[in-house]
Structure formats: structure tokens, C-alpha cells
Structure 1
Amino acid sequence: MENNKEIISDLKGLINILNDGKEGYESASEATDSIELKGLFLQYSAQRAGFAMELKEHIALHGGVSDNEEGGILGVLHRTWLDIKQALSSKEDIAILSAIETGEKAAIEKYDNVLEDDSTHADHLSILQKQRTGILEALKEVETYRLRLEH
């Protein structure tokens, strides 16, 4: 039972991060004038929503409930996405992309922390690894866009 509480707590923490990412990408899509970036941001926002649903289903398998649709109020990642909102107000794509990179790096770090405890999360390790890979791929794509705009 104690194990289930830890699993549910860890997964809820990841859901908070995914929701932060979803909201951040939605805000970024509204702030940029680039049609290409709008599409990219909306794609990753939808991806984060899908990841959160997968984890919510897994929480249910462990007897938990996650009705949280919002990000973490006090989390580091929330502050990171607030930085994105600040970057958004400048409407500069490079600033927006840089802020998103910071958020994605923080998300990967959170996934890495949960993945370290592979015995606790053995039954859903593949889901977590797949999601971490998706976030890493998004980070690489965002970095590529930023580098292209800087040069």
C-alpha cells in the first residue's frame, strides 16, 4: 500500500509538470506570429495532454484519482513557465523558445528523478521512458528552431 502511495504521488507530480507544459505551449502558440511555431507549439501542447491522460489512467490502476487539470502551483517548473509568460509578452520568438527549453529541461530532470526508482515504477517504466523521450525530442526541436532564428 505504501508503494502505491509513492507511485501515485510521483505520477501526480509528473502530471503537474505535463499540465504546466501544456499550458506553456498553449500560451506560446498564442504569443508567436509564426504560423510554423504556432503549429509546433499546439502539437506539443496536445502531446502533453495525451501524456497526462496516460498517467491518470495509470494512477487509476493503482487505486488513485487525479482530477488535476492544472500545473503545479509552487513547483520550479511553474516558475519556469511563468518565465515563458514573461518572454511571451515580448513576442520575441527567440525568448519564447529559450524559456520553453528551460521548462523542458526541468521536466526531463523530474522524469529522471522518478525513473531512478525503477523498482517502484517497474510496471509503467516503459510509459515514463517513452514520455521522457517525447519531451527530449521536443526540446531538441525547440533548440533547433532557436538556433536557426539566432543565426
Structure 2
Amino acid sequence: MEHNNEIISDLKGLINFLNDGKEGYNSASETTEDLELKGLFLNFAVQRGLYADELKTHLEQHGGESDNESGGLLGALHRTWIDIRQAFSSKEDSAILNAIETGEEAAIEKFEAAINNPSTHADHVDLLQRQVTGIREALSQIRGYNERLKVTQS
């Protein structure tokens, strides 16, 4: 039973991170005026929502449920930071991208912790690995866009 409680707790934490990411990307898409970034952010928001739904299925298989559709406190703090930066920087895309990088790095760390505990997450470790790969790819795209933005602003 304790093993199952750990699985439920870990999955809920990952779902929170995914919902935080979804909400953060939605917020970022509303903040930027760059149409390419807006599309990128919306695509990643949808991806995070799908990832959360996939993990909810596994959570339910272990007897847990997630009533979190909008992220946790950490995500709210990231979104608040984006909102504050928006007010002071006139929608500076670089600041938004930096905040997203921070959030994605935290998500990757959380996923890796679960993946590195395969005895607990054996029945869904492949799913976690696929999802963290998607998050890493998103982070790479965000970093690449941010680098291009810095070069054009120089």
C-alpha cells in the first residue's frame, strides 16, 4: 500500500507540473505578439494537456485521482512572474522564454526523479521517458528561439 501511495503522489506531482506547463504556455501565448511564438506556445500547451491526460489514466489505475486542471503553486508563481515581467518589459519575449526555460528544467528534473525510480514506476516508465523526451525537445526549441532572438536584438 505504501508503494502505491508513492506512485499516486509522484503521478499527481507530475500532473501538476504538466498542468503548470499548459497554463504557463497559454499565458505566454496571450502575452507575446510574435505569431510564431504564439503558435509554438499553443502547441506546447496542447501537448502538456495530452501528457497530463495520459498520466491521469495511470493515476486512476493505481486508485488515485487528479482534480488539478490548472497547475500547482509553483506554476502559479511562474505565471505570476511572467505577468509581472510583462507589465515592466512591454511584453519582452526574451523574459517569457527565460521563464519557460526555468519551468521546463524543473519539469525535466521531476520526471527524471520518477524515471530513476523504475521499481516504483515500472508500469509507466516508458510513458514517462517519452514525455520527458517531448519536454526536452520543447526546451531545445525554446532555447533555440531565445538565442535567435538575442542575436537579432544585438
Smaller-chain TM-score range? Answer: over 0.9
Alignment match, 1:3: 3
The Cα of 1:66 is off from its aligned counterpart by 1.2
1:92 and 2:92 correspond:
yes
AA matched with 2:9? S
Using the TM superposition, name which of 21-30 and 88-97 deviates more: 88-97
Identity %: 58
Q: Contact conserved, 1:24 with 1:85, CA < 8 A, in 2? A: no
TM-score by length of structure 2 reads 0.92
Structure 1 residue 82: Cα displacement:
3.0
User: Match for residue 82 of structure 1?
Assistant: 80
Unaligned runs of 5+ in 1: none
CA distance in 2, matches of 1:42, 1:64: 29
2:105 aligns with: 105
CA RMSD of aligned residues (A): 1.2
Gaps of 5+ in 2: none
Cα deviation, 1:113-145, whole Å, max 9, x if unaligned, reads 111211100110001001101110000000000
- Give the counterpart letter for 1:43 in structure 2: N
For 1:7 and 1:64, how far apart are their aligned partners in 2? 9
Q: Aligned AA for 1:79?
A: L
Q: 1:2-151, aligned counterparts within 5 Å?
A: 2-73=2-73, 75=74, 77-89=75-87, 90=89, 91-151=91-151
Aligned with 2:138: secondary structure?
A: helix
TM-score by length of 1: 0.93
Letter in 1 for 2:83: K
Kept in 1: contact 2:28–2:38 (CA 8 A): yes
How many residues are matched?
149
Distance 2:135 2:82 in 1: 17
Distance of 1:139 and 1:30 partners within structure 2: 19
> Compared with structure 1, are the counterparts of its residues 105 and 81 closer, same or farther at alpha carbon in structure 2 (3 Å cutoff)?
farther
